[in-house]
Structure 1
Amino acid sequence: MKTEIVKVTKPTAQFIDVLNRWENDRELIPLIRPNKNQEEFERRETITLDRVRERLEYQEIFQIRVNEKIIGEMNYMVDPPHLFKQEPGTAWIGITIGEPEGRGKGIGFEAIQFLEEQIYQQGFIRIELGVFEFNRKAHQLYQKLGYEEIGRLEDFTFWNGRMWADIRMEKYL
């Protein structure tokens, strides 16, 4: 199994189709976006080519591929307003392993290490992220990679009949 990470510079229709499938997958929705209530959880999104082009103006986006199939996406942006700790020069990261065959095989571990190297090469030494409280596997992965909890935003997202916290974590490179 060959993992390849590809920087997105010109989003394709195929990539948009994959993102839309993940964005509207009932299993992934609670992991990839906050929801204030059941109605928001039930809401479906449409990601457009223009929306991804807009994201590219302030984010670096990468596809995670295995045997040429897109199985995940990751990104980072610098100094977004939603940082828990407003420290200038901080990269905020996000990662989605959208395809089930890509989970639990170390691909996320490898992908985040790649992202950290990209961020470091750009001259940034601090990374922050958020992980929903119920996403224990991701939380454990980040801990294994050296991320430490710096705070919690209580009642941040709705899933499985209740509200959960967003755990904010950081790592200095």
Structure 2
Amino acid sequence: MTTQFVKLTNPTSSHVEAFNKWDNDPYLIPLTRPNKNKAELERRDNMTLTDLTNRLEHHHIYLIYLNDQLIGEMNYMVDPGHLYKKESGTAWIGVTIGENEGRGKGIGFMAIQYLENQIMAHGHNRIELGVFEFNTQAQKLYHKLGYKVIGNIDNFTFWQDKMWTDIRMEKYL
């Protein structure tokens, strides 16, 4: 098993196709984006090549490959408005293992460690993230990597006919 992380600098239509597949996957939607109600949960969106290119203005995006197959992406942005703890120079991270073949193999663990190293290399020493309360597998991963809970935002996302809390976590590098 060979895992590679590659910074996305020149998006292509095949990247857009993969991102759209993951962004519209019914299994991934409740894990990767907040939804205010059932209609939002069921909403499907498609980005364009221009959308993905524009996203690079605010996000550092890294592609995750397993044995030369694109299986996911990870990204960070610095000082977004949705930080729970407004501390200058904070990186907000997101990781999506979009393909089933990449799940349960420790790739998320390696991906976050890689992302942390990239964030440190760019001069940032704090990371914040949000994880939905029902995503216990991700919570275990973040705790294992040294992330600490700093707060909760109640009634944050809709899934399984009810509202759930967003757990905010941080780590100093």
1:21 is aligned to 2:21: yes
- The aligned counterpart of 2:103 is 103
Q: Deviations over 1:105-159 (max 9, x none)?
A: 1000000000000000111000000011101000110000000000011000000
Structure 1 counterpart SS, 2:31: helix
Look up the SS of the partner of 2:54 in the other structure: helix
Between the aligned partners of 1:47 and 1:70, the Cα distance in structure 2 is 18
- CA–CA distance in structure 2, aligned partners of residues 121 and 24 of structure 1: 33
Alignment partner of 1:146: what SS?
coil
RMSD: 0.6
Letter in 1 for 2:169: M
TM-score computed with the length of structure 2 as normaliser: 0.99
Q: Name the counterpart of 2:52.
A: 52
DSSP 3-state at the match of 1:116: helix
> Displacement of 1:97 after TM fit?
0.5
Deviation for aligned residue 1:101: 1.2
SS at match of 1:76: strand
> In 2, Cα distance between the equivalents of 1:84 and 1:3?
32
Q: Which amino acid aligns with 1:4?
A: Q
Matched with 1:162 is 162
Q: Which residue of 2 aligns with 1:43?
A: 43
In structure 2, the partner of 1:126 is 126
| Distance in 2 of aligned mates of 1:16 and 1:128 | 26
Counterparts of 2:72 and 2:98, CA distance in 1? 5
3-state SS of paired residue (2:34):
coil
Aligned to 1:153: 153
Q: Which amino acid aligns with 2:25?
A: D
Provide, for residues 51-97 of structure 1, a one-character-per-residue CA deviation record: whole Å limited to 9, x for no partner: 11111001100000011111110000000000000000000000000
State the identity as a percent: 61
**Gaps in structure 1 of 5+ consecutive residues:** none
Give the gaps of 5 or more residues in structure 2. none
Partner of 2:65: 65
One-letter amino acid of the counterpart of residue 8, structure 1: L
Number of aligned pairs? Answer: 173
SS at match of 1:139: helix
Q: TM-score, normalised by structure 1?
A: 0.99
Give, in whole Å, the separation in 2 of the partners of 1:98 and 1:10.
Answer: 20
Q: Secondary structure at the match of 1:16?
A: helix
Q: Name the aligned partner's letter for residue 167 of structure 2.
A: I
